[in-house]
Structure 1
């Protein structure tokens, strides 16, 4: 028998274009499905998208209808909701489409431990949703709604105090929240750490007038210019719900996300070696730094949910799990919480630079040589493409954890269907760009002539 698969939810929640795949009726039903599966007090938050008020109220309506008390947390980062759910609630929901363009919105479901709902439970939720099997409350058992937007302050204080031995006085940082929910939180975290903070795209606006929610090197050119003009130590930018952070160095050069992962990994593991958990799509820099620091890497399926839950499982076995995350700017520091957290990543970069006494560009130059290429292959039959790759490269060292990863000495490639968009992703990495391009061409010639 085939293993059941998610139909509506992707790698990180469900997303769609407003008025087409995504609408208040669907979100209300998701709320009723969640309320049918979970009991207790539930927190609901949202990002800055223009459709957020309508969808968050639909989610709240579904939860109230199933008899749950709901706290409306207002506009705040996804990791802030996750932190507050872990500390105060039995479950949660975030209305967000993360890095997708402004016409999109979506839903992420949060479990009581602050992690996103796993695949098994999500499939169960979809079952309730598609069958419309909801446990609705009577008139005398309806839930009660309260509003507590001030609760985000607890999250801000927790991150600002995490690196309590670091004094960042005199450090200038430029923050680009991208008009998203971190407009208030990240600058406040960095200011509490002692930084002088300059902001760009710092006003909440669901039309995202300054740049798109996905922070790209091209879209971050104004951030780079402001870093150079202010003499800042670095610039940090968030995606649409601020669970990720990306950086530019003091010269305004973009720091590739896998290099960011490696630098933070080195910082964490040099002080405390242990297990680093990351998906099969992450750069081999993770392996190189692990060897350098006496640590080990454990690979998972792509997606922060898989990483977080594997970290929790290993810790439950008594193993020392010190760091995790993805090579896309989504880092997880288990001492804080088991989810990607953009503000925590920004605070960690402050601690890293203050501890090393070096510039970010110098630290980047100290990493082993590598070149990574990322392509998209459009196909109507992704499973057939994966079978073709598995057969064609059977003589190589294959990892089938998620898609097909082809491992060779000094290089690797990963082919897997996108969890959020209709195409196959192809990652190729080698020590030089020429080697990476040759490997990529070899693969595409065979599987997609």
Structure 2
């Protein structure tokens, strides 16, 4: 229970449940999740996975639990998380993705998808956990056990669905380097870009759950080969995906890493210029998003950290009759409302290619048009987040404080966010200012308090 006696998630974090295989993640747990999920849905449920070595064992456990609960199970095989979400929205009553996203190879996990293609919200997840813990699940009799079907061919619908948003050959002759990181985007992003007319070079393009080329997290340190390949081939840019391809990060034509908040701002500006409306993003996102949106006459609204909160806020606003232009997080996860309401790395790569092609400029020149901000981050281990957050509140009395997620403090020339991690026993600290020295000072000041 939380301090106000409201229930909270136990197994599931910000984006699903994850753990190290053989320790806190195993087929038995996944089968229980499958039984509970099947009990809630009682329909046709799609199952997909990324390329991790443990994927098939966990996917088999998920399918077993769902079938035993009486659900028909559709096996979509290896595919990006947003591809599964797209196909669930079009065809099925729910979905389960076996993935640990950007975590190292020894991890795996489960993301649960609702029939509208979004991740399961907190209240429904708490109800799912209740079934897991109580064991009060539906076990079908022999006449009502679900039926399995393989529909892995449907990946083509996702590829063509993204390509259909752009004019054919809009990027004709543009050279792009794609680094799927040995993950499921190897099957999708290169083909999407080719259909737009790009000449595509691929590295780390074979499915391999040991991730021999780099780790699933596309960090600046791990993208040296991408940078080298971009400069060697004369590419317009390079794009890299995380382990389940719901995010995309970029290097420019010189091979230089582009911060995720910068590329978010570039794409948000393009979206707002084309279809003005609200921009939705978490409280951890750079102020550059608010500035570029405002310059296009678009307001910004903030959510807790997590793509599910962004997606559901976008849907809520649209349901209320408001125009929504764009959404996303400052980690390479962008949401295109005309496509679907989840982070989609393939769509992000395609949108960036079109932006560069239409502008007629180098991607670095487009980046230079975006206002410059400096964000610094830190994390500290803590088993008592509430006490540390109280210290911050007391030290920052008199400043503007927002508690949408953690404690967000704003000064006239800087802001900071202090929040507990959704997946680890850490307190995360973000500090940002247009002045790099001021950002560093705010971070150090908060560290001294904590």
Counterparts of 1:248-267 in structure 2, within 5 Å, are 248-267=251-270
Q: Of 197, 210, 213, which residue of structure 2 is paired with 1:210?
A: 213
> Is the contact made by 1:191 and 1:197 (CA closer than 8 Å) also made in structure 2?
yes
Of the candidates 184, 188, 194, which is equivalent to residue 187 of structure 2?
Answer: 184
Tell me by how many angstroms 1:421 deviates.
1.7
Identify the match of residue 327 of structure 1 among 300, 307, 330.
330
What is the Cα-based RMSD across aligned positions, in Å?
Answer: 0.8
**Structure 2 CA distance for aligned equivalents of residues 216 and 240 of structure 1:** 12
How far apart, in 2, do the equivalents of 1:383 and 1:125 lie?
A: 26
- The question of 1:312 aligning with 2:319 is answered no
Q: Deviations over 1:184-205 (max 9, x none)?
A: 1100000011100000000000
Instruction: Measure the CA separation in 1 of the matches of 2:132 and 2:389.
Output: 31
Distance 2:71 2:415 in 1: 48
Q: Which residue of 2 aligns with 1:201?
A: 204
Q: Deviations over 1:105-124 (max 9, x none)?
A: 00000000000000110011
- SS of 1:105's equivalent in the other structure is strand
1:342 is matched with which residue? Answer: 345
Q: Deviations over 1:394-425 (max 9, x none)?
A: 21000100000001123110000111122111
Structure 1 counterpart of 2:142: 139
Separation of aligned partners in 2, 1:3 and 1:259: 37
CA distance in 1: counterparts of 2:424 and 2:351, whole angstroms: 31
Alpha-carbon distance in 2 for matches of 1:272, 1:137: 49
Structure 1 gap ranges (5+)? none
Find out whether 1:269 has 2:272 as its counterpart. Answer: yes
Give the CA deviation at 1:166.
6.1
Q: In the aligned structure 1, how far is the partner of 2:357 from the partner of 2:393?
A: 46
Alignment of 1:432 onto 2:439? no
The residue aligned with 2:49 is: 46
Alpha-carbon deviation of 1:168?
0.7
Q: Equivalent residue of 2:212, what SS?
A: coil
- 8 Å contact from structure 1 (residues 373, 436) kept in 2: yes
Superposition deviation, residue 272 in structure 1: 1.7
**Preserved contact between residue 249 and residue 260 of structure 2 (Cα < 8 Å):** yes
Q: Is the 8 A contact 1:82 1:114 kept in 2?
A: yes
State the secondary structure of the residue aligned to 1:173: strand
Contact conserved, 2:248 with 2:332, CA < 8 A, in 1?
yes
- 1:226-254 superposed Cα distances (whole Å, 9 cap, x missing partner): 00000000000000000000000000000
Aligned partners of 1:166 and 1:354 also within 8 Å: no
Kept in 1, the 8 Å contact 2:334–2:343? The answer is yes
Aligned residue pairs, count: 447
Indicate yes or no: 2:26 matched with 1:23: yes
Corresponding residue number in structure 2 for 1:221: 224
Residue of structure 2 in register with 1:56 after alignment: 59
2:389 maps to which residue? 386
- Deviation sequence 1:248-303 (CA, Å, 0-9, x none): 00000001000011000111101221100000000000111011100000000000
Q: Give TM-score scaled by structure 1 length.
A: 0.99
Residue 247 (structure 2) pairs with residue 247 (structure 1): no
- Deviation of the 1:167 alpha carbon: 1.2
Displacement of 1:445 in angstroms is 1.1
Residue 419 of structure 1 is aligned with which of 407, 419, 422?
Answer: 422
CA offsets per residue over residues 362-394 of structure 1, 9 Å max, x none?
Answer: 111111121010111111201111111112112
- Is 2:265 the partner of 1:230? no
TM-score by length of 2: 0.98
CA contact (8 A) 1:68 1:143 kept: yes
1:106 corresponds in structure 2 to: 109
Partner deviation per Cα, 1:204-223 (whole Å, 9 max, x = no partner): 00000000000000100110
Moved over 2 A (4+): none
Q: Where does residue 84 of structure 2 map in the other structure?
A: 81
Gaps of 5+ in 2: none
The partner residue of 1:286 within 263, 276, 289 is 289
Alpha-carbon separation, structure 2, partners of 1:143 and 1:403: 43
